[in-house]
Amino acid sequence: MADITKPNAVGAQFESLKVAIVGGTGGIGRSLSRLFASGGADVIEVGQTFRDADQKGIEFIKADLSSMSEAKRVADDLPAENLDIVIFTVGIFASYHKEETSEGLEKDMAASYLNRLVMIRRMAPRLGKERRKSSLKPRVFIYGYPGTNKLGNLDDLNSEKSYKVMTAHMNTVAGNEALVLDSASKYPNADFFGMNPGLIKTNIRSNLMGAGTLQFRLTEWIIGFFCQSVDDYAKKIVPIMSSSDLKASSGTMFNNYGKEIPSSPGLTQEYVSKFITQSEQLVEKWLQR
Ligand SMILES: NC(=O)c1ccc[n+]([C@@H]2O[C@H](COP(=O)([O-])OP(=O)(O)OC[C@H]3O[C@@H](n4cnc5c(N)ncnc54)[C@H](OP(=O)(O)O)[C@@H]3O)[C@@H](O)[C@H]2O)c1
């Protein structure tokens, strides 16, 4: 398996970089955001609650990205033309009982996947077009759980026929990996990468278990004990994300140590195309109501 060669040293300066992190207010996104900003990058965090007023170099855009109209607004507000790196970490884990957004979408699909599809459609053609000089092609990193051969349920992407928590969440996993592969073929002006961070102690499971419950605290304690911390992960990944020696081609997936992993064998070109078309139809159908 190919490895990424010569990542920038930790502590390397990112002064020339403009980075947008959609879901940058918490968890993995926040850790990446603070590390980029502490190295001098201009960072825009999109999320619901701003927690980084103490860190120079971070701007905030407030949005509820379970709404597709909000996703459109934010995509249009972001200065895509000047961005070097866009990172999508926004998301939740489906809850035991089906939750629906005011636009009629299953909430996990809306907040963890469909908003990214909407934003990429509006931003990708503009990405990096007005940068004065940059050695990097614009890069888009899409978080999820790629490489695990989760294909989703194409017959019921919005969980309208039946609802099961893992089925709903795996629809978002399949969707995000499909989005990487589809975007890599649609937008040659940027490079798209799928990111599988493995298990990391964050807030992602709070919607499933209930924030602050014993089950949530115990689970996160165990994950925190056995797996790398979010800051250790960020220290490995930020130098790779910004490295001018990143040779991987658009559409490549990476694991929790920044090593290339194969994409899911079931996500063929034909399947990806069907998945993305049905996702777009879903967004349009509910937005028109
Ligand atoms: N941590 C893991 O074990 C793990 C494992 C596999 C994959 N991943 C993936 O890694 C990515 C990042 O997850 P994480 O662990 O960092 O999760 P996290 O700690 O829960 O952070 C999620 C981020 O999404 C934002 N967000 C959630 N709902 C939103 C909404 N409706 N509108 C706007 N922003 C919203 C949160 O912002 P606010 O706090 O401001 O609401 C936060 O910034 C996700 O794609 C996740 O699926 C994580």
Rounded to the nearest angstrom, the distance between the alpha carbon of 196 and the centre of ligand 1 is 13
State residue 9's pLDDT score: 44
Which of 28, 109, 199 should be mutated for ligand 1, with most atoms under 8 A from CB? 28
- Note the pLDDT tens digit of each residue in 189-222: 999 999 999 999 999 999 999 999 999 999 999 9
State residue 289's pLDDT score: 64
Rounded to the nearest angstrom, the distance between the alpha carbon of 205 and the centre of ligand 1 is 9
Identify each DSSP E strand in 181-252 by its residue range: 191-195
Total number of domains constituting the chain = 1
Buried b (16+ CB within 10 A) or exposed e, 36-60: bbbbebbbbbbbeeebbeeeebbeb
Domain-embedded: residue 4: no
Token pair for 168: 């709903």
pLDDT surpasses 70 at 46:
yes
Contact at 8 Å (CB) between 95 and 207? yes
Sheet containing 42-47, strands listed edge to edge, beginning at the edge strand earlier in sequence? 58-62, 42-47, 18-22, 85-88, 139-143, 191-195, 253-254, 260-261
Domain-embedded: residue 44: yes
- Note the pLDDT tens digit of each residue in 53-105: 999 999 999 999 999 999 999 999 999 999 999 999 999 999 999 999 999 99
- Note the pLDDT tens digit of each residue in 113-166: 999 999 999 999 999 999 877 778 999 999 999 999 999 999 999 999 999 999
Return the minimum-mean-pLDDT range out of 5-9, 51-55, 68-72, 242-246. 5-9
What ligand 1 atom has the least distance to the C-alpha of 48? Answer: 40
Domain of 193? Answer: 18-287
Contact at 8 Å (CB) between 168 and 98? yes
Rounded to the nearest angstrom, the distance between the alpha carbon of 208 and the centre of ligand 1 is 12
Angle at 67 between CA 205 and CA 273, to 5 degrees: 85
What ligand 1 atom has the least distance to the C-alpha of 26? Answer: 43
Please tell me the residue having the least CA distance from ligand 1 atom 12: 89
Domain-embedded: residue 57: yes
What ligand 1 atom has the least distance to the C-alpha of 31? Answer: 16
In terms of Cβ atoms closer than 10 Å to its own Cβ (0-12, 13-18, 19+), residue 269 is: exposed
Domain-embedded: residue 2: no
Angle at 35 between CA 238 and CA 139, to 5 degrees: 40
Q: How many CA atoms lie within 13 A of 206 on its CB side?
A: 9
Domain-embedded: residue 261: yes
Domain-embedded: residue 173: yes
Mean pLDDT, range 237-249, rounded to an integer: 93
% of the chain beyond a pLDDT of 70: 95
Please tell me the residue having the least CA distance from ligand 1 atom 27: 91
Where does ligand 1 bind, in terms of residues with CB under 6 Å?
23, 25-29, 47-49, 63-66, 89-92, 111-112, 143-145, 197, 199-200, 202-204
Q: Tell me, what CATH number does 254's domain have? A: 3.40.50.720
Domain-embedded: residue 160: yes
Contact at 8 Å (CB) between 237 and 258? yes
Which of 48, 140, 166 should be mutated for ligand 1, with most atoms under 8 A from CB? 48
Return the minimum-mean-pLDDT range out of 3-17, 109-123, 151-165, 269-283. 3-17
Domain-embedded: residue 11: no
Please tell me the residue having the least CA distance from ligand 1 atom 3: 199
